[in-house]
């Protein structure tokens, strides 16, 4: 008897096979703007389905290793990474995944919407990047921080062009060294101290507990200027060169790729997921550092420039992983036979996939909205966009992080037993999704951040305004959808008002996660309605089903089954 071997086909091209991505670009960029982006997007999609897919598998199979000593006992603290990881690094530079919003040519073509194009690039690149999307996010955050006027021009001119280079031979990425073992969420417990040197540079001493992309040429580190007092507000961001080549403290005889004096890599973390990404514990002893802004001025606000960028990247990574998981699960269902037919024809399995497609659509527009707002803040200095982004960045990060984990679990299950077997590549979907709600703020920590934004900065107002406008847009599409949105808008107006009146009340704090998720889900419905009102039929169906599932807690299985093709 011959042994049965399941055939599995690759999913569709992630750009041409994603109608919501294309119609969203058409709406935000206009036909000419979208046409100008098509070449870039098609090139990246071709790389993703070709060499980058193989590089992704290679990087996953060959995790990084820390080499502490050379053969003669000299400390080298070198992080060796795989060829696949290096291929991902080169592709990120070549396709301008970090650089695009900083390129003059891109800003001339798309203006503030260069961030919209970047979101599309990330949507294609991230899911099969072996989590090189993480150093991409941190490099973008560092570039945004270097771009603010408070940063010394000489520091900016020396480092920003390297972060935004599109030549893989010169492009660098960045780490960010914030978390310490005594506190990641609670930065007020940070104990790394910065001391000024005579030449305007600083020396940092302390221990950093989670340092991803530990092979990067630089990192943004948070430190407490000596004598600055307690709390988190006074923490200041510093640029720390990782290698001797960029540290004036290194002697002329030291190899350029030796660690910068005072920078020690203790060990790499043995993590649940993100296996290809080197995450280290790093010690600093009088390490050379350049201040990013005046350390005498409380610096946490400056550091938030970076954090907002990494949070919206996190949302984009979550949304893109959901979409790619769906594509893989659909391709498998086309090939797999169950109960005498193709799995793809089972109404029950179709309902499962259709429901996941609704979630993927919601996550996509929510992350995309955050990028669109970020672009408007950076290019036009748009105060309305800044006010909305204050709440949207944490909301998008927290909501998509949770959706990504739930979806990844379903995608693994959609492959049956094969989904649990390492060399199919499927288990990593779940492992890697789990970092999304943790890194750059856990769900609770972000929910509290939203509460602060609402209570202290009136960040609820632009959200309520958008929701109210969406009620009117929804009315001609679906009266039931408009009614749901109107009801939820009224409910949120009351709850956000209560939170503003007494943000420290036990009930308000205990309910912060629920309120944040409800707000994020309502905002997502509004964003789908906006896309639908522009004429996108897929978004219209997604908006109706999203609102029923996430706002009214209804079972949408029958409609998800019926509309599966349209939703994908």
Question: Rounded to an integer, what distance in angstroms lies between the CA atom of residue 366 and that of residue 358?
Answer: 12
**Which range binds ligand FAD by CB under 6 A, 64-72, 207-215, 240-248, 546-554?**
207-215
**Which range binds ligand FAD by CB under 6 A, 8-16, 209-217, 483-491, 518-526?**
209-217
* Angstrom distances, CA of residue 380 to CA of 278, 372, 400: 36, 12, 27
Residue 448 engages ligand FAD in binding (rule: CB under 6 A)? yes
122 or 532: whose CB is closer to ligand FAD? 122
Q: Let me know how long the chain is.
A: 568
**Binding residue for ligand FAD, selected from 33, 127, 135, 184, defined by CB under 6 A:** 184
Other residues' Cβ atoms within 10 Å of the Cβ of residue 556: 21
**Which range binds ligand FAD by CB under 6 A, 94-102, 433-441, 460-468, 531-539?**
433-441
For ligand FAD, what does the binding mask look like between residues 263 and 282, x meaning CB under 6 A? --------x--x----x---
Residue 295 DSSP SS3: coil
Q: What angle do CA 210, 145, 305 make, to 5 degrees?
A: 80
Question: Rounded to an integer, what distance in angstroms lies between the CA atom of residue 427 and that of residue 429?
Answer: 5
Residue 202 engages ligand FAD in binding (rule: CB under 6 A)? no
Task: Show the DSSP H helices in 19-50 as ranges.
Answer: 19-49
Tokens of 547: 């609102």
The residue assigned the tokens 């991902």 is: 88
Q: How far is the CB of 268 from ligand FAD (least distance, A)?
A: 11
Q: What is the end-to-end Cα distance of the chain in Å, rounded?
A: 39
Question: Rounded to an integer, what distance in angstroms lies between the CA atom of residue 142 and that of residue 160?
Answer: 8
449 or 530: whose CB is closer to ligand FAD? 449
**Binding residue for ligand FAD, selected from 445, 461, 486, 557, defined by CB under 6 A:** 445
Q: How far is the CB of 152 from ligand FAD (least distance, A)?
A: 23
107 or 431: whose CB is closer to ligand FAD? 431
Residue 221 engages ligand FAD in binding (rule: CB under 6 A)? no
DSSP string, 377-426: HHHH--HHHHHHHHHHHHHHHHHHHHHHHHHHHHHHHHTGGGGGSGGGT-
Residue 524 engages ligand FAD in binding (rule: CB under 6 A)? no
356 or 430: whose CB is closer to ligand FAD? 430
Residue 428 DSSP SS3: helix
**Which range binds ligand FAD by CB under 6 A, 72-80, 139-147, 204-212, 350-358?**
204-212
Residue nearest ligand FAD, Cβ-based = 184
Q: Which residues bind ligand FAD (CB under 6 A)?
A: 175-179, 183-186, 210-212, 271, 274, 279, 435, 438-440, 442, 444-445, 448
């Amino acid at each position: 008897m011959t042994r049965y071997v399941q055939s599995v086909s690759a999913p569709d091209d992630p750009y041409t096979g994603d109608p919501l991505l294309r119609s969203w670009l058409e709406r935000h960029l206009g036909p000419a703007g979208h046409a100008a982006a098509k070449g870039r997007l098609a090139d990246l999609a071709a790389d993703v389905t070709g060499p980058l897919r193989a590089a992704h598998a290679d990087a996953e199979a060959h995790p990084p290793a820390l080499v502490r000593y050379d053969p003669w006992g000299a400390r080298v603290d070198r992080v060796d990474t795989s060829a696949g990881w290096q291929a991902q690094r080169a592709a990120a530079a070549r396709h301008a995944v970090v650089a695009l919003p900083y390129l003059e040519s891109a800003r001339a073509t798309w203006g503030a919407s260069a961030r919209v194009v970047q979101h599309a690039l990330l949507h294609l690149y991230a899911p099969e990047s072996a989590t090189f999307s993480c150093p991409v996010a941190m490099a973008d955050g560092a570039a945004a921080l270097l771009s603010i006027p408070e940063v010394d021009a000489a520091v900016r001119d020396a480092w920003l062009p390297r972060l935004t280079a599109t030549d893989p031979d010169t492009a660098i990425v960045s780490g960010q060294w914030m978390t310490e073992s005594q506190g990641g969420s609670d930065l007020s417990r940070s104990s790394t101290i910065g001391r000024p040197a005579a030449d305007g540079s600083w020396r940092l001493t302390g221990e950093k507990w989670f340092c991803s992309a530990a092979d990067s040429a630089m990192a943004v580190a948070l430190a407490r200027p000596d004598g600055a007092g307690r709390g988190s507000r006074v923490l200041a961001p510093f640029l720390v060169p990782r290698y001797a080549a960029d540290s004036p403290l290194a002697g002329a005889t030291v190899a350029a790729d030796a660690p910068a004096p005072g920078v020690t890599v203790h060990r790499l973390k043995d993590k649940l997921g993100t296996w290809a990404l080197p995450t280290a514990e790093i010690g600093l002893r009088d390490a050379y550092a350049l201040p990013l802004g005046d350390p005498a001025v409380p610096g946490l606000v400056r550091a938030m420039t970076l954090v907002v960028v990494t949070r919206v990247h996190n949302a984009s990574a979550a949304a893109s992983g959901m979409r790619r998981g769906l594509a893989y699960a659909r391709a498998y269902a086309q090939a797999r036979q169950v109960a005498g037919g193709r799995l793809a024809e089972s109404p029950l399995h179709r309902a499962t996939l259709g429901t996941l497609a609704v979630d993927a659509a919601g996550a996509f527009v929510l992350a995309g909205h955050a990028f669109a707002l970020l672009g408007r803040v950076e290019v036009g200095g748009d105060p309305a966009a800044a006010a909305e982004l204050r709440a949207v960045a944490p909301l998008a990060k927290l909501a998509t992080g949770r959706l990504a984990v739930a979806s990844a679990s379903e995608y693994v299950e959609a492959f049956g037993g094969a989904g649990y077997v390492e060399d199919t590549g499927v288990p990593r979907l779940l492992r890697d999704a789990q970092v999304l709600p943790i890194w750059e703020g856990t769900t609770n920590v972000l929910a509290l951040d939203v509460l602060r934004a609402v209570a202290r900065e009136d960040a609820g107002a632009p959200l309520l305004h958008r929701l109210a406008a969406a009620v009117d847009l929804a009315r001609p599409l679906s009266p039931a959808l408009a009614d749901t949105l109107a009801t939820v808008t009224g409910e949120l107006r009351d709850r956000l008002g209560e939170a503003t009146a007494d943000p420290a009340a036990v009930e308000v704090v205990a309910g912060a996660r629920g309120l944040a998720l409800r707000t994020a889900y309502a905002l997502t419905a509004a964003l789908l309605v906006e896309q639908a009102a522009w004429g996108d039929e897929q978004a219209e169906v997604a908006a109706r089903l999203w609102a029923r599932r996430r706002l009214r807690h209804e079972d949408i299985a029958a409609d998800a089954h019926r509309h599966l093709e349209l939703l994908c």
